[in-house]
Amino acid sequence: MNNYRHGATTLSTIGVRSRRGPNLAVSVIGKSLYSKTYKPGWYELIRPVNIGEYGTLDSREWLGSPKKLPTVNRGDLILGCEGFEKGRSLVLVDRPEHCTTNFHGTVLFWPGAEIWQTVFVRCFLAYLREHGVIDWVGVGGSGGHMSPEYFDYLPFPRFPDSVRERIAHLYHNPAQPPARKATLANFVAWHREWNEGLGIWELDREMKALQQTLVAVQEEIIGGRSVTLPF
């Protein structure tokens, strides 16, 4: 990295800050309940184990607790720092509703930064994880542990803004849908055209929305009811 003509920097130098997620042990917050489905008033819980390879949620869960827990906000980056989930990360591109993480998740936040800047940090962290740098920084057995004190061992290249933005858009790019209306006849072509401009975060969101629509249509068919297509 020292050979790169623009040089390298560190997270603390560019202004990124961190805080550990709350300890959810019974001895700390008392008895809590967990659910795989949404419950009004509960916290959505983002644990590193639920974060997939490409920075999206593979599964969702909710936590019911009488304690007031610290929440995460839009633009926050959740990074796994423990065990074999070490280095898994995502950026909360959409505004979360009453959402928290746990002690295995460290929240990185960058005061005053635009969201694409934080997204770039997430993308480069994923690159460092893929190439073993995150494991190198971690210490201990059973997957190891990466304390926030070690974050500045991670080099971040001083790419020009144009390069960082192009990289960030691969993860987050809310492209507008095609101008023409989606119909049953052009459904596949319409989505293919839209998907070409979307980032990974938006592709995951649209995929999950289509899956929900498919499940709803299947239930109508199984129940012998007429199906109203969402067009």
With left for phi above 0 and alpha for psi between -120 and 50, is residue 209 left, alpha or beta? alpha
Please give the pLDDT value at position 54.
95
3-state secondary structure 135-154: HHHCECCCCCECCHHHHHHC
**107, 134 contact by CB (below 8 A):** no
Is residue 161 within 8 A of residue 90, CB to CB? The reply is no
- List the pLDDT tens digit at each of the 231 positions of the chain: 667 889 999 999 999 999 999 999 999 999 999 999 999 999 999 999 999 999 999 999 999 999 999 999 999 999 999 887 889 999 999 988 899 999 999 999 999 999 999 999 999 999 999 999 998 887 766 667 888 888 999 999 999 999 999 999 999 999 999 999 988 889 899 999 999 999 999 999 999 998 988 898 899 899 999 887 766
The model's pTM is 0.90
pLDDT for res 147: 84
Reading the block at residue 5, the tokens are 């003509």
In the chain, the domains with their CATH numbers are 8-158 (3.90.220.20), 173-231 (no CATH)
pLDDT tens-place string over residues 86-132:
899 999 999 888 999 999 999 999 999 999 999 999 999 999 999 99
Average pLDDT of the chain, as a whole number: 92
